[in-house]
Each structure stands twice: as structure tokens, then as C-alpha cells.
């Protein structure tokens, strides 16, 4: 019998004999029952789609490149936003803000 914090419900999954054998072999390799193996795999997959995933370095680099390209269209040539922000910070410091 299951613990008080778990529920037991049949999942009603239908598989072909070939799929059943594949699942059976995989479950045996992990020393689990087929039900436990299938449920564990389904839960891992569900969690993978609900948790925010870690971005790869390439994805981050591509996003930065796109943002830089967007900003380049908005900032006139010869204008430095970095220099403007530094000047603003220095002016705030002088004013005591």
C-alpha cells in the first residue's frame, strides 16, 4: 500500500509489443519495474518543460549580437552612450546624489 502522501492511479498507457520490450529492457538495465521506469521518465520530461532551461554560451552570444545590432540602429555614429552615462554619474556625484 502507498504512503499517505502518494496516490495510486492507473495511467492506461497502451504500447505495441515492440515498445513494451524496449521499455522492459531499459527498465531492467536500471533495475526498476516498467511502471517505475516509465513514470520516472515522464516526470523528468515534464520537469524539463516546466523549469527555465540554462542557455548555452552560443545562445547568449547570439542574443547579445542581436541586441547590439538593434542598439546600433538607434544610436547615431560618433555618439557614445557609455561616455554619456559616465558623465551623468560624475555629475550626480558632484551634486551629492
pLDDT digits (tens, 9 = 90+) for 36-95: 888 899 898 888 778 777 889 999 999 999 999 988 888 888 888 899 999 999 999 999
Confidence label for 1 from pLDDT (cuts 50, 70 and 90): very low
Residue bearing cell 515534464: 46
pLDDT digits (tens, 9 = 90+) for 2-44: 556 777 777 777 889 998 899 999 999 999 998 888 889 989 8
Cα distance between residue 47 and residue 9, in whole Å: 20
Helix (H, G, I), strand (E, B) or coil at 93: helix
Is-contact 13 38, C-beta < 8 A? yes
Count helices and strands (H / E) in the chain.
4, 0
Tell me how long the chain is. Answer: 97
pLDDT at 91: 94
What is residue 75's DSSP assignment?
A: S
Amino acid at each position: 500500500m502507498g504512503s499517505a502522501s502518494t496516490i495510486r492511479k492507473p495511467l492506461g498507457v497502451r504500447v505495441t509489443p515492440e515498445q513494451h520490450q524496449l521499455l522492459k529492457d531499459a527498465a531492467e538495465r536500471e533495475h526498476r519495474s516498467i511502471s517505475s521506469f516509465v513514470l520516472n521518465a515522464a516526470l523528468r520530461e515534464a520537469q524539463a518543460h516546466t523549469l527555465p532551461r540554462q542557455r548555452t554560451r552560443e545562445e547568449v552570444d547570439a542574443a547579445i549580437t542581436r541586441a547590439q545590432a538593434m542598439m546600433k540602429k538607434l544610436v547615431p555614429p560618433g555618439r557614445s552612450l557609455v561616455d554619456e552615462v559616465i558623465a551623468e554619474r560624475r555629475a550626480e556625484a558632484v551634486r551629492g546624489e
